Amino acid sequence: MISQMRKIVISFLTLSFFMFIPNYIMAQSTNTLTKNTLVQAKGYQFSLDNASRIKIDLKEPIQYNGTPIVFYVNLEGAKWLDTVNSSVPPTYFTAATFKKINDTKLEVKIGNSLSGGVYYIPLLTELTGGKAEVSVDGAGTKISSMAAVPFAITSEQKAVVSVGDIPAVREEGIVANIKIDELIKGDLVDSSRSENRTIKLTLLHSNYEFENEKPAIQTSGGFSDMITRVYNQNSSTFYEVNPISTSYGRISSNQPNKSILYIYLPEKTDTKSQGKLNITDLKVKAVSKEIRPGKIQIQVTGPNVQESTVTVAEIKDYSVAVINKLNEPASIKVGNKNAISFSIKENVLDSMVVGKTVQVTLDKGYFAARKKAGISDVSIGNIKLNKQDMTKQVSLNGVYRDDFLVGFNFDIPKSIDSSKLNEIEFNDVQVYAPKDAAGNVKLLAHVVGLKEDASAVVAVIKPISSVNMQSIRLKVGLKDQVGGKIIITETDKDMIQEGILELEIEAQEGITFSKEPQVTVISGDIKLGDVRYDGIKPNMLKIDVLRTSKNASSIEIKNFVITTDRMVPDGGYKLSLKGSALALDAALGAIEYDNFMIVGDVQIASTPKTTSRFTMGSEFYYVNGEMRNMDAKAYAESGRTMVPLRYVADAVGITSKDITFSNNAATIRTLQKTIILYPNESAVQVNNEKVMISGQVVTKAGRTYVPIAEIAKLLDVKVTWDADTKTAIFEK
């Protein structure tokens, strides 16, 4: 009995459940908006042409049984227009009538059967402020209810003003593009009153005026169809019809005010989106010769434009710029060549005048490999003026430094255009890197009559390798003396090419090389072949390079076997590094190292180390121009340059035997001082006295890093900082 009663209760509850949710079962439509959220001013009234619509996709037919089906459409932030009762065409919603119940509630009454399909309700509304939202109350019909969704946003903002790139001008010039963008569709043109469609440009600089009354005005967005193309049958050509007109302001009926320019827009009521204007080729000119550097500004006003004062030009002295036309500076190996491309461009109109001379020079490197080369030895792909080839019209003259061709000069051609910013290009110009050069190569341009020269980095000279050398001391009159070691380390992969690596030891009668040294690749994957002394030059060791490296490699050459007779004079003998594997041009010179062999009991004075350079992020440093390799890069910490201690010491002439490490402390010993450094501390000990430094000694990856400027001061070395190249410079 209880079990049967339970079944009855469950059945009753189930039936009751379905009885209480008929609206959800019957709801058969999908409701969406036909447009994204629109932006208009408060008080704006939508028409059938531009209003968003509620799209009701009815999934199954509605059968009319004599009782009308009624549902409601509700608003927030907007109100229904009175015309909604009578102006909606029957094609929008068949068999339906619309009745405005109040400002925010619309009744939709369906008085006949409907087939499944799509029906529309236009949102003929006026925006009252804020976010305008619409919702649907299905009222238990087959029309689904829809939660409130925004269909418009009211805005009081007027059209906004912006400018393009700011140019430099002097006596005259074209100012930056002025852009005016609507935030509200049709705001600039949807008015029958011409004054509401007028934009005023006022030039605020007393020494300048507008030079052209008819600048170019480009249209886009909702104004894209404003300018039309018309076909002229007589000339069989198209021409543009632009309804936008311009004029100067007036001082009197016959005297224009050239500091004011008016722009008159046509009336346009059918814009589909926000309009955009771009005012270009707007020229200004100075009205007197008293020109001072500063800014030129224009005030933009209008009934529907946010009043704005914008900078459109910078008044500058005549000047030019050097522009590297490649994506990045050309890479040149020491002793090799590569092509650069660059241009000289005016920053200000008339900076380059017909007949004036332009001189172009390199701060390092040459335009020809041999000394006293002629201008015909300069390799140039072409020379262009404003993209037009003028190679044959330009006559070059050489500029020399130490008998090497480091630049050229030329006269500005007659075809220069005084109405535009001219650009003279030099493409595919060969630049050569001598043995003693490294780092960025700047190209400098000097135009006669201009106050300042222009420059740009156009290339980077990269040393092929670093060399660590251990000299061999020889005694006279002894056979087969063994010693000496050279480690050649590539600065990057593929720096040493397939070919012959030549090591030439300074020739001296009475010195012979009886056996080849031991040659080994100690790191990397470069592949070597035969090792031999040259048959013609017995003091030249040749090593075949069979394959370039994919990983930077090191070659060790050690245990030279040398015989001396009793007549060999005492002294030091140098080593030269060259060969086709390095591709060193003979005119640019082999890489030389003094005192590889030292004969006799003589003291060889070391080369004074006067200047050393450490560059942030580089694995290399330079001592008197000689590049040396570090196994770790300098880095910045709290505004200080941190460098491994042993390289700082080497840069000022302190050898590794003068640095010891014990109990986590590093000790430096010189003739004048003993300096003890403790990790993670700012206190150091100098000759048993405590001294505070700025920064701390840091132990990192097994190396002791020191703040380079502080340690240099302790070692009585002058240190300066080059912010442009991020380089610390030591001077003893």
Position 13 in a domain = no
Judge contact between 549 and 526, C-beta under 8 A.
yes
pLDDT band for position 660 (cuts 50, 70, 90) = confident
User: Could you report the per-residue pLDDT of 409-449, keeping only the tens digit for each?
Assistant: 999 999 999 888 999 999 999 999 988 777 889 999 999 99
Q: What is the CATH number of the domain that holds 705?
A: 3.30.457.10
Q: What percent of the chain has pLDDT over 70?
A: 94
Q: What percent of the chain has pLDDT over 90?
A: 54
**Segment 174-193 mean pLDDT:** 91
Position 220 in a domain = yes
User: Could you report the per-residue pLDDT of 276-304, keeping only the tens digit for each?
Assistant: 999 999 999 999 988 889 999 999 999 99
* Same structural domain, 49 and 134: yes
| Whole-number Cα distances in Å, 540 to 464, 513, 576, 586, 595 | 20, 9, 9, 16, 16
* pLDDT for the residue 267: 93
* Same structural domain, 453 and 489: no
More confident residue, 417 or 730: 417
Distance CA 498, CA 504 (A): 19
Q: pTM of the entire structure?
A: 0.59
Question: Which of 154, 185, 214 is the last residue before a domain boundary?
Answer: 154
* pLDDT for the residue 663: 65
More confident residue, 658 or 579: 579
Is pLDDT of 639 > 60? Answer: yes
| Whole-number Cα distances in Å, 339 to 342, 368, 393, 403, 598 | 10, 12, 22, 22, 42
* Same structural domain, 43 and 133: yes
Is pLDDT of 623 > 60? Answer: yes
Distance CA 111, CA 39 (A): 35
* pLDDT for the residue 281: 94
Q: What is the CATH number of the domain that holds 196?
A: 2.60.40
* Same structural domain, 529 and 587: yes
Is pLDDT of 569 > 50? Answer: yes
Provide the 10 A C-beta neighbour count for residue 281.
12
Question: Which of 117, 138, 154 is the last residue before a domain boundary?
Answer: 154
* pLDDT for the residue 671: 61
Q: What is the CATH number of the domain that holds 442?
A: 2.60.40.1510
Position 643 in a domain = yes
* pLDDT for the residue 1: 37
| Lowest-pLDDT range of 490-504, 581-595, 654-668 | 654-668
* Same structural domain, 392 and 280: no
Is pLDDT of 502 > 90? Answer: yes
More confident residue, 75 or 652: 75
* Same structural domain, 231 and 344: no
* Same structural domain, 436 and 479: no
pLDDT band for position 33 (cuts 50, 70, 90) = very high
Domains contained in the chain, number: 5
Position 11 in a domain = no
Which residue range forms the structural domain that includes residue 651? 611-731
pLDDT, mean over the chain: 87
Position 476 in a domain = yes
Q: What is the CATH number of the domain that holds 549?
A: 2.60.40.740
User: Could you report the per-residue pLDDT of 533-552, keeping only the tens digit for each?
Assistant: 998 999 999 999 999 999 98
* Same structural domain, 479 and 451: no
* pLDDT for the residue 692: 87
CB within 8 Å of 519: residues ≥ 6 apart: 528, 531, 543, 555, 556, 557
Question: Which of 299, 315, 331 is the last residue before a domain boundary?
Answer: 315
Ranges 69-78, 223-232, 460-469, 606-615, most confident: 69-78
